């Protein structure tokens, strides 16, 4: 157990840090309020280091940040989340420009970048903090999220996979992870690591989908190789058709 005063002080320090923190790759402020043409959502798909890199590369994404959500402890530390006692999972907060990229594009990356049938694990990482999850931020997001799950389940079954275990819920509070976790894979001296085990099964069009990114964008990702996101560079894809 961590002393309450230690946890409280760590949380206050982290809150102060994140207010002035900028994205190590995109240069955007992590905590800047959304404008009218932006939305946010939380994705959990294994270790958040590799997951975040996948999302920050997509054109139209304004900023990303890693943190914790879905549990019952406010402002948890990484150690507490890893203990499994908080109920939180490792998540990526994604903010995007709706005129440049659609939620369905983000869902395509989410479903394809990991194996959503593994329950409380992803690859060699075991524990509830590695479970697959989507936490929506407004009611309009829920319909395409559920429709994409239904479609991807059908795509997976056709390839011999089992049932999707992804937790889907709304309005879960997001707690920023410690500064050293933010854009970890883009920082000097980082340990190349990603637990994601992509199925190499593509998400087909689903009810409500409105894909905006071209096939050329998706050629930057190779899901045939486990942990494939590590084989790509850290640079964002700058064009919708690149």
Task: Give the start-to-end residue ranges of the domains of the chain.
Answer: 4-231
pLDDT of the residue at 6 = 43
Segments of the chain with pLDDT less than 70: 1-17, 241-242
Buried b (16+ CB within 10 A) or exposed e, 27-36: eeebeeeeee
Domain 4-231 class in CATH: alpha beta
- The structure's pTM equals 0.93
DSSP alpha helix (H) spans, the chain: 4-19, 48-56, 78-83, 103-112, 139-158, 215-218
3-state SS track over 98-145: CCCCCHHHHHHHHHHCCCCCCCCEECCEECHHHCCEEEECCHHHHHHH
Residues 75 and 19: their CA atoms lie apart, in Å, by 15
pLDDT of the residue at 226 = 82
pLDDT of the residue at 4 = 44
pLDDT of the residue at 2 = 36
pLDDT of the residue at 231 = 84
Active-site annotation, residues: 47
């Amino acid at each position: 157990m961590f002393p309450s005063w230690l946890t409280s002080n760590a949380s206050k320090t982290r809150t102060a840090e994140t207010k002035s923190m900028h994205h190590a790759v995109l240069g955007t402020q992590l905590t800047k309020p959304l404008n009218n043409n932006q939305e946010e959502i939380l994705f959990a798909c294994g270790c958040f280091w590799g997951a975040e890199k996948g999302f920050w590369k997509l054109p139209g994404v304004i900023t990303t940040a890693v943190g914790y959500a879905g549990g019952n402890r406010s402002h948890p530390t990484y150690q507490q989340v890893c203990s499994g006692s908080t109920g939180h999972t490792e998540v990526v907060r994604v903010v995007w420009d709706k005129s440049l990229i659609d939620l369905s594009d983000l869902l395509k990356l989410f479903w394809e970048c990991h194996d959503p049938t593994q329950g409380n694990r992803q690859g060699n990482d075991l524990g509830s903090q590695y479970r697959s999850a989507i936490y929506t931020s407004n009611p309009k997001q829920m319909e395409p999220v559920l429709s994409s799950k239904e479609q991807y389940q059908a795509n997976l079954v056709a390839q011999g996979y089992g049932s999707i275990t992804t937790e889907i819920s709304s309005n879960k509070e997001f707690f920023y992870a410690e500064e050293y976790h933010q854009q970890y894979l883009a920082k000097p001296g980082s340990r190349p690591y990603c637990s994601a085990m992509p199925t190499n099964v593509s998400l087909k069009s689903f009810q409500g989908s409105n894909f905006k990114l071209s096939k050329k964008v998706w050629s930057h990702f190779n899901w045939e190789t486990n942990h494939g996101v590590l084989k790509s560079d850290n640079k964002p894809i700058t064009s919708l058709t690149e």
